[in-house]
Amino acid sequence: MCPQQFGLGFDNLVFDLKNEIMKKILFILPVFLFALTAMAQETPLIEVEGKSEISVMPDQAIIHVNLMEKAMNVKDVTNALNKKTKSIKDAMEKTGIKDYEFTVDNYYVNVNRVYTKGTSRDSGYVATQNVKIVVKSIDKDMVKVVETLHQTANMGFNVSFTISEVQKKTYEKQLLELAIADAKSKAETIAASLGIDKINVQKVNYTSGQNIFQPIMMRSESMMMKSADAYEEPVFSPESQKLTDRILVAFSFVIKP
């Protein structure tokens, strides 16, 4: 290739590169200008979180009865556990109480392994399960249920006072209205402090089901009968529970020039 041809080819290559660069600049420039315009026109916002809280008395009690039996074979241990569960169910039916739920879960049968001085030996089987009793009328039926459990068998149980799903739903609207009012009040306070005359709702972010609370537990030992002579009727004084809700609201406003 002669020097003239080489020089001509190099010039053409430079020309092509310049064209490619110009095309990319022309493509990117509108996008860049659009982004700048969007940033300049972005709506100013006041974002706040509204919260609400209501104290409610529990309307139901949940009793967990932990059952355990031991025997030398699976059949005997299973029959013994089923017999004890049935005795509780039959006793509950004899009370005449109508407004309660009786369920059984967490059934296990395992080898009864005994550890002594660093060694272990198998001694039959152990079966366990949990009986759950939901008492819907705690003012009227709670004492009768506890007395029935004491008299049926020698067993431990836990009592927790909770708010039913039905009662929670009755407060959903009130909780949400209070949370919205709280968000609006906060936004108006911020706007007034900054000299902003008017604000408008721009965006709302709400997810229901945020309410979480811990039921109040009562240990069964405090209610167990030590003897017939020492027995005293149990007294229940459940504390109020808190239901809460929250909502995120963004308010727009105009910046005066």
Number of structural domains in the chain: 3
Which of 162, 181, 198 is at the close of a domain? Answer: 162
| Residue 238 within any structural domain of the chain | no
Residue 248's pLDDT is 95
Report the alpha-carbon distance of residue 216 to residue 165 in Å, rounded. 16
131 and 4 within one domain: no
Q: Do the bridges between strand 119-135 and strand 100-116 make them parallel or antiparallel, or are there none, so unpaired?
A: antiparallel
Tally of CB atoms within 10 A around 139? 8
Mean pLDDT is lowest, of 33-42, 76-85, 180-189, for 33-42
Look at residue 226 and tell me if it is in a domain.
no
Give the percent of the chain with pLDDT over 70: 73
Q: Who has greater pLDDT, 178 or 1?
A: 178
Residue 173 in tokens: 């609207």
Residue recorded with tokens 């004084």: 237
Same domain, yes or no: 129 and 176:
no
Same domain for 77 and 139, yes or no, is: yes
My answer on whether 3 and 92 are in the same domain is no
Is residue 9 pLDDT above 70, yes or no?
A: no
**Domain check: are 25 and 68 in the same one?**
no
Nearest Cα neighbor of 242 from 62, 50, 58, 63 is 58
Q: Are residues 21 and 50 in the same domain?
A: no
Q: Residue 109's domain spans which residues?
A: 60-162
50 and 33 in a single domain? The answer is no
**What pLDDT sits at residue 101?**
94
Q: pLDDT class for 235, splitting at 50, 70, 90? A: confident
**pLDDT given for residue 14 in this prediction:** 54
Contacts of 97 (CB under 8 A, 6+ apart): 135, 141, 144, 145
Nearest of 112, 167, 158 to residue 137 by alpha carbon? 167
Classify strands 60-71 and 119-135 as parallel, antiparallel or unpaired.
antiparallel
Label residue 117 left, alpha or beta by phi (over 0 means left) and psi (-120 to 50 means alpha): left
Among 102, 130, 162, give the residue marking a domain's end.
162
pTM above 0.85, yes or no: no
Q: Which residues are within 8 A (CB) of 35 and not within 5 positions of it... i.e. 6 or more apart?
A: none
Q: What is the CATH number of the domain that holds 67?
A: 3.30.70.2970
pLDDT-derived band at 254, boundaries 50, 70, 90:
confident
Calculate the average pLDDT of the chain. Answer: 80
pLDDT tens for 150-203 read 888 667 788 899 999 899 889 999 999 999 999 999 999 999 999 998 999 999
Final residue before a domain boundary, out of 162, 186, 219: 162
Residue 232 located in a structural domain: no
